[in-house]
Amino acid sequence: MEKDIVIIGGGPGGYTAAIRAAQLGADVLLIEAENLGGTCLNKGCIPTKALYQNARMIHDLNRTEEFGIRLAGFTVDFGEMMRRKQGITDRLKEGIAQLVKANSIEMMFGKASLAEGKTVRVIDSNGSENIIHAGNIIIATGSVPLKAPIAGIDLPGVMTSDEILSIGKIPDSLAVIGGGVIGIEF
């Protein structure tokens, strides 16, 4: 297979580059290992903002008496909060997929690696290999959580930002190491 531009990574950098290149007339292949939208949409900014909004709502409900509003009480359904978070990310992923399709961008899901020259090798989930020859290659592979070399990092209850987005209940307490965007929102 030959393409004008091969983009490795379907996050905000990759899919926007793919859309713009296609709009300018390039024959584009966008390769993504997991989910369109990358870290930001799937494991970062968007899900943490959704959960932050839930936390903000709980905070405000706990303060209603300051505003002369007395509630008989309320309950928190953490499972529903997590379903809401997932629904938001799913809708946004579908929107990106529609943009990719509308711009006639070919998608391939799999693990990409660079080979000799301007060649990209992709192994899909079935283990099949695809070789793509590219006029140009854009690498927009995003990020992964770092497990810092800290004593105790492998103890039970220590989680990465990816893992905490899949927990089943609100923790009684939480210490966050790292002051990046995702850490701050947690």
For the chain, the three-class secondary structure string (H helix, E strand, C coil) is CEEEEEEECCCHHHHHHHHHHHHCCCCEEEEECCCCCHHHHHHCHHHHHHHHHHHHHHHHHCCHHHHCCCCCCCCCCHHHHHHHHHHHHHHHHHHHHHHHHHCCCEEEECEEEEECCCEEEEECCCCCEEEEEEEEEEECCCCCCCCCCCCCCCCCCCCCHHHHCCCCCCCCCCCCCCCCHHHHHC
How far is 153 from 62, CA to CA, in rounded Å? Answer: 34
Q: What is the pLDDT of residue 143?
A: 85
pLDDT of amino acid 152: 92
pTM: predicted TM-score of the whole model, two decimal places: 0.86
Each residue's pLDDT expressed in tens, for the chain with a length of 186 residues: 999 999 999 999 999 999 999 999 999 999 999 999 998 899 988 999 999 999 999 999 999 999 999 999 999 999 999 999 999 999 999 999 999 999 999 999 999 999 999 999 999 989 999 999 999 999 999 888 888 899 999 999 999 989 999 999 988 899 998 888 888 888
Long-range CB pairs of 172-178, under 8 A, 24+ apart, other chains included: 177/148, 177/150
Distance CA 46, CA 89 (A): 7
The dihedral built from the CA positions of residue 54, 59, 61 and 64, taken in this order, carries a sign that is: negative
Q: Which residues pair with 120 in a beta bridge?
A: 114, 132
Contacts with 140 (C-beta within 8 Å, 6 or more apart), sequence order: 7, 8, 9, 11, 13, 14, 17
Give the pLDDT of residue 112.
97
Q: Given this model, what pLDDT does residue 27 score?
A: 98
Q: Is-contact 10 138, C-beta < 8 A?
A: no
User: What tokens does 146 get?
Assistant: 């770092």
